[in-house]
């Protein structure tokens, strides 16, 4: 998935750009890092707002200029720390600022709350490095929902479910990324939203994000929409678990997964990543409920 850097200069939501197949052009590993940063920064900013609001340190949270300040801090911190560590830094720094405010010692920083939180965070980092203390790794809070776009990118496109506790890919990983470029497989993937996609969505009862794609229940079976690279990865996992018996090894890969998977997915074809994004877009537009929403509706009826 190549997304040119000029997309990031556009203030429109990146997810809207991803839905446009004409703009899905990946140019370099640097672009890949930018996409990674974009989604991580969005989640960290959400957690930052959550923590600041908890203590009502919220006077500047709606300011675009102040948002740029915290994004600049994320940029610095992410070169060294994982998102889970940055969240730990935010968590502790906000509480330290609240304590200082309670003591009436913020001075003029009471007019520059965000700048003060960043200053306290930087001071904490320096202290921890000087004392050779490790920054803790905090889990993503269960009370906060991770954006759907983030889930798709990390779980379905780049297969990094542990992104919250992973470092930003370093420039020295460029060669690894290129060697594993999933788009070498594109020739055998469907490049458009076909009749089967539309008919499945028309009959959809619910959908959910799966590690290896998007699953839609059409009332009869759960249909897995996935890229070829994801499909191969899923097959390898099933094989490692000893679920691919000799009886199914001579079948096509779709049938192998259908028989070997506990979930028993039906797979019609493989699709390029852009089609996967378009499927999500259509599901949202048609207001198809997620599996969790469907279950809740069932229990209330």
Is 18 within the bounds of a domain?
yes
Chain centre to alpha carbon of residue 130: 33
Q: What is the pLDDT along the chain (301 residues), one digit of tens a residue?
A: 333 334 334 434 444 444 433 333 344 567 678 888 999 999 999 999 999 998 988 887 777 777 888 999 999 999 999 999 999 999 999 999 999 999 999 888 888 888 899 999 999 999 999 999 999 999 999 999 998 878 888 877 777 889 999 998 875 554 444 333 344 334 457 888 899 999 999 999 999 988 888 999 999 999 999 988 888 888 888 888 888 777 777 777 778 888 887 778 899 888 887 788 889 889 988 999 999 999 999 988 7
Same domain for 222 and 109?
Answer: no
User: Residue 285: inside a domain, yes or no?
Assistant: yes
Which of 130, 159, 179 terminates a domain? The answer is: 130
190 conformational bin, left if phi > 0, alpha if psi -120 to 50, beta if neither: beta
- 174 found inside a domain: no
Q: Are residues 98 and 21 in the same domain?
A: yes
Question: Could you tell me if 194 and 118 lie in one domain?
Answer: no
Residue 254 neighbours by CB distance under 10 Å: 17
Instruction: Classify residue 30: in a domain, yes or no.
Output: yes
- 189 exposure class (CB count in 10 Å sphere: 0-12, 13-18, 19+): buried
What's the pLDDT score for residue 188?
59
Last residue of a domain, one of 130, 153, 172: 130
- End-to-end alpha carbon distance in the chain: 42
Overall number of domains in the chain: 2
Which residue segment(s) compose the domain that 118 sits in?
Answer: 5-130
Cβ proximity of 73 and 86 under 8 Å: no
Domain final position from 95, 113, 130: 130
In a domain, 64, yes or no: yes
* In a shared domain, residues 199 and 108: no
Domain for residue 234, yes or no? yes
Rg (Cα) of the chain, in Å, rounded?
Answer: 22
Q: Give the pLDDT score at 28.
A: 55
* Residue 114 parent element (H or E): helix 113-130
45 and 125 in a common domain: yes
Instruction: Determine the pLDDT at residue 172.
Output: 55
pTM, to two decimals: 0.59
Would you say residue 278 lies in a domain? yes
Residue 161 domain-assigned? no
């Amino acid at each position: 998935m190549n997304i040119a850097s000029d997309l990031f200069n556009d203030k429109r939501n990146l997810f809207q750009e991803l839905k446009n197949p004409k703009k899905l052009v990946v140019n370099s590993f640097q672009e890949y890092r930018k996409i990674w940063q974009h989604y991580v920064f969005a989640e960290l900013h959400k957690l930052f707002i959550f923590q600041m609001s908890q203590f009502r340190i919220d006077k500047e949270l709606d300011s675009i200029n102040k948002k740029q300040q915290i994004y600049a801090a994320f940029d610095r911190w992410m070169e060294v720390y994982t998102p889970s560590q940055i969240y730990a830094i935010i968590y502790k720094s906000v509480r330290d600022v609240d304590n200082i405010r309670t003591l009436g010692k913020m001075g003029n920083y009471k007019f520059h709350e965000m700048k003060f939180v960043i200053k306290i965070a930087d001071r904490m980092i320096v202290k921890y490095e000087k004392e050779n203390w490790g920054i803790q790794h905090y889990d993503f809070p269960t009370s906060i929902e991770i954006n759907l776009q983030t889930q798709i990118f990390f779980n379905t496109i780049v297969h990094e479910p542990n992104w919250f506790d992973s470092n930003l890919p370093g420039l020295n990983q460029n060669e690894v990324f290129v060697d594993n470029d999933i788009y070498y497989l594109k020739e055998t993937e469907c490049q458009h939203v076909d009749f089967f996609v539309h008919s499945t969505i028309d009959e959809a009862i619910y959908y959910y994000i799966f590690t290896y794609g998007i699953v839609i229940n059409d009332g009869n079976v759960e249909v897995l929409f996935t890229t070829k690279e994801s499909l191969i990865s899923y097959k390898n996992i099933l094989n490692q678990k000893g679920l691919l018996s000799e009886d199914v090894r001579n079948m096509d890969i779709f049938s192998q997964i259908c028989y070997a998977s506990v979930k028993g997915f039906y797979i019609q074809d493989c699709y390029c990543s852009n089609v996967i994004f378009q499927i999500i877009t259509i599901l949202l537009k048609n207001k198809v409920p997620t599996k969790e929403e469907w279950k809740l509706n069932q229990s209330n009826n």
